[in-house]
Structure 1
């Protein structure tokens, strides 16, 4: 037989679980980023270029550019000798070439700032930034370890600031 005290404890625990469920559900939402471009190929971009998500959320990149193939590639030394611009402990990714209509997903679990680019269009400034959780307000410096390829000026000029991404998510 269950005592009144046990029933209240079970009820309280159930209420506590239900009260946090919306937070857990929010962390499972998929965030969509579009790969886009002008029909003549003269301008390409990610939309949105900067997003703020919670740890555990999934980002989905979809190529909606009928004129180009694109990639979503993390800045990381393991991928094409690029400087690390994702948090320590985070898994780097490379979508490979996505043809029009194709998508790629990545679940981001480590708090921090993730910078990524499109391999064939980085020189045109096709980059993006994802802020996961509440990292310190700092941008990556334009430095590369010896033997790593520095980012082109067009890419560096296009990253939104962390502060702007956090402000736009409020």
Structure 2
């Protein structure tokens, strides 16, 4: 049996390496695998439809994955943006998205890099109030986009959770 000499530099190097590894894991950019999930669903008759959660707080760089859990309906996750034929209800300069129609079991993922409030809707079910709101980082505007409320169906406007509630709870079902 041979004796191994104690070397304090070795312990320091191992400790530093472990700290760097931990920092790399905690500070790595979000990926689709790290996505927060929003379910899309409805009643069996289709008389009610929803996103769950409909209000969500995430950090910049985090991904959101919408999954159609509705066995009898198609849904979309579509940003309120002029590119989608709607008023702008997301940060200026942020990239708009439209999942197109998702069949049952299909999903769509978006990474949110720009802080702010993002409102979105389901194209075939907006009039039924199938809308959601994502807050990325801190948002100071408690009533964003009120100037465009008149351009949306009343059920859609009523479906958005308040930003302050999202900030406090983290998610609103």
TM-score, with structure 2 as normaliser: 0.82
Counterpart contact for 1:27–1:54, Cα < 8 Å? no
Give unmatched runs, 5+ long, in structure 1. Answer: 1-6
Q: Secondary structure at the match of 1:98?
A: coil
Residue 14 of structure 1 and its aligned partner are, at CA, apart by 5.1
Spell out, residue by residue over 1:28-70, the C-alpha distance to the aligned partner (whole angstroms, 9 max, x if none).
Answer: 4210000010000000000000110011111000000011100
Q: Residues 22 and 52 of structure 1: is their aligned pair in 2 closer, same or farther, counting only changes over 3 Å?
A: farther
CA distance in 2, matches of 1:150, 1:136: 23
Counterpart contact for 2:29–2:61, Cα < 8 Å? no
The count of residues paired between Structure 1 and Structure 2 equals: 161
Residue 137 of structure 1 and its aligned partner are, at CA, apart by 3.4
Q: Secondary structure at the match of 2:83?
A: coil
Give unmatched runs, 5+ long, in structure 2. Answer: 1-9
Match status 1:136 vs 2:140: yes
Match status 1:126 vs 2:115: no
Q: Secondary structure at the match of 1:143?
A: helix
Counterpart contact for 1:142–1:150, Cα < 8 Å? no
Q: Say which of 96, 103, 117 aligns to 1:99.
A: 103
Residue 12 of structure 1 and its aligned partner are, at CA, apart by 9.0
CA distance in 2, matches of 1:12, 1:31: 32
CA distance in 2, matches of 1:47, 1:133: 20
Structure in which a larger fraction of residues adopt helix: 2
TM-score, with structure 1 as normaliser: 0.83
Q: Deviation above 3 Å: which 4+ runs of structure 1?
A: 9-23, 25-28
CA distance in 1, matches of 2:101, 2:117: 23
Match status 1:45 vs 2:50: yes
Within 5 Å, give how 1:13-162 maps onto structure 2.
17-18=20-21, 20-25=23-28, 27-28=30-31, 29-80=34-85, 82-144=86-148, 150-162=151-163
Counterpart contact for 2:64–2:109, Cα < 8 Å? yes
RMSD, aligned α-carbons: 2.5
Spell out, residue by residue over 1:10-35, the C-alpha distance to the aligned partner (whole angstroms, 9 max, x if none).
Answer: 88975764454454258442100000
CA distance in 2, matches of 1:38, 1:123: 16
